[in-house]
Amino acid sequence: MAGHVLEISDTTFDNEVLKSQKPVLVDFWAPWCGPCKAIGPIIEELATAFGDKIRFAKCNVDENPVSPGKFGITAIPTLIIFKGGKNVKQITGMVAKSKLEADIKSLL
Q: Which residues are catalytic?
A: 33, 36
Sheet holding 78-83, edge to edge: 5-8, 55-60, 24-29, 78-83, 86-92
SS3 assignment, position 18: helix
In 1-108, the DSSP E strands lie at 5-8, 24-29, 55-60, 78-83, 86-92
Query: What number of other Cβ atoms are within 10 A of residue 68's Cβ?
Result: 23
